[in-house]
Amino acid sequence: MEKEKLLMTPGPTMIPPRVLEVMRRQIIHHRTKEFEAIFDGLEEDLRFVFQTKNPVLVLASSGTGAMESAVVNLFSPGDKVLAVSIGNFGDRFAEIAAAYGLRVQKLAVKWGEAVNIADVRKILDEDANNEIKAVLVTHNETSTGVTNDIEAIGKLTKDTERLLVVDAISSLGGLELKMDEWGLDVVVTGSQKALMAPPGLAYVGISDKGWKAVENSKLPKFYWDYKKYKKGLMKAGENPPYTPAITIMTAQAEALKMIKEEGLENVYARHKKLALATQAGIRALGLELLPEQEVSSYIITAVKAPEGIDIAKVIKTLNLKYDIMITGGQKDLKGKIFRIGHCGYTDGLDLIKTFAALEYALSEAGSRVEMGAAVGAVQKALR
């Protein structure tokens, strides 16, 4: 029997039927009034989700492309940045900066922990000559299931010349983020996670301070040139600088309408409720979270694998036998953890189904499981 695969991963995530229906329509041309209306609405709704008054740029790109675009548009060769890394994607931001000849001071945090704000403050306070031009940081680290306190970091840079550049690829649209109010200078994200659209689009919000850095940047750029994208915003009477990902843009426009209809606060509350229910199910299985609960993500839950159990086999069983995809650990955490995503178009029934299958898969792998305990805990937490 062929079944639809349930993606309980950090991304890509499930696409709402309403969005899929929009994607079925015949493609339109991007040099038309019809597309102009879609693009204008998309950009306006992105500002709403970013919580910013400034334009949001739309790139045909992965999230990593958006991270690279931020580096080449904000800095010049030899500039110094502080890269805060709490996992695989924090490391990636540091690697991108180094690849473009920036001097990278890396604040590496043990995987499974959030950054200590005092450590960031200390480094910035000791930078007496203001050599550090920016702080690069991940809001929500999917490799470890940890969320950083971006609002607190924003207070350290808001009234300074330093930039705060935030990777919000997995968090935007699922976790509270107030770009203007928190003093975030550049926020990058992608279409395929909490924003409920297919992979292929990336978005960049830029503050007034960020645009000043763009004007002074000397790193080479062509496709990523933010000034071209800003000029290409339809409201300025121009067109996108290159052929846009039209079908994905129409899908994203519809998904953002759904987010606005639900209301941002309700969206955030739903993600929190699903995360807490996931944690309850994990505890009922007798397993432990990788991070402490107070920094555990509301987007994805990272769980220590039970001792003596081949967690890769459990993940494979869930996928092939029960048509549910979760993910394992990355790099040093490979084989040591598994991760359950619960963001975007996900609800309580998806979670209940996942834990019912997880109980079976763990039992089949040799783990002692009280059938129904985790499912019951999830159901109770969802009430």
Half-sphere exposure of 324 (CA within 13 A, CB side): 25
The pLDDT, as a whole number, for residue 3 is: 75
Quick one: pLDDT at residue 232? 79
| Structural domains in the chain plus CATH codes | 6-12+263-382 (3.90.1150.10), 17-261 (3.40.640.10)
Nearest Cα neighbor of 364 from 304, 314, 305 is 314
Residue showing tokens 């309850």: 280
Q: Which of the residues in the chain have pLDDT under 50? A: none
Q: Is 283 annotated as a binding residue?
A: no
pLDDT of res. 239 = 74
Report pLDDT for 361.
99
Whether this prediction's pTM lies above 0.95 is answered by: yes
Q: How many CB atoms neighbour CB 127 within 10 A?
A: 14
Distance between CA 321 and CA 274 in Å, rounded? 24
* Phi/psi-derived region of residue 59, left when phi > 0, alpha when psi is between -120 and 50, beta in every other case: beta
Task: Give all strands of the β-sheet with 132-138 in edge-to-edge order.
Answer: 56-60, 201-206, 186-190, 163-167, 132-138, 80-85, 103-108
**Residue range 296-323, pLDDT digits in tens:** 999 999 999 999 999 999 999 999 999 9
